[in-house]
Amino acid sequence: MTDNGDDPAVPIVCEACGTETTVPLSEVADQLARHNENRHDGEEHAEVDPGLKSRIQDLAARDIGLLE
């Protein structure tokens, strides 16, 4: 893990095994891949928290004018 205080924390969850953790944004992709590979034979079960994903999608859509 990095020790960069400026790197925002991102919640990741895995409903398949009931785990939830927070990791630095710069490590999200690696952590998700590692969890899914080690725990679920590569099947994509762990993901960024669905509520956060939805909020980011809304902000991006608003930013590019899709909600007007």
What CA–CA distance (Å, rounded) separates 10 from 3? Answer: 14
Q: Is 38 left (phi over 0), alpha (psi -120 to 50) or beta?
A: alpha
Do the beta carbons of residue 48 and residue 25 sit within 8 Å?
Answer: no
Predicted confidence at residue 67, as pLDDT, reads: 77
Q: What is the pLDDT of residues 15-42, one digit of tens each?
A: 999 999 999 999 999 999 999 999 999 9
What CA–CA distance (Å, rounded) separates 63 from 43? Answer: 32
Predicted confidence at residue 68, as pLDDT, reads: 75
Model confidence, pTM = 0.76
Strand partners, 46: none
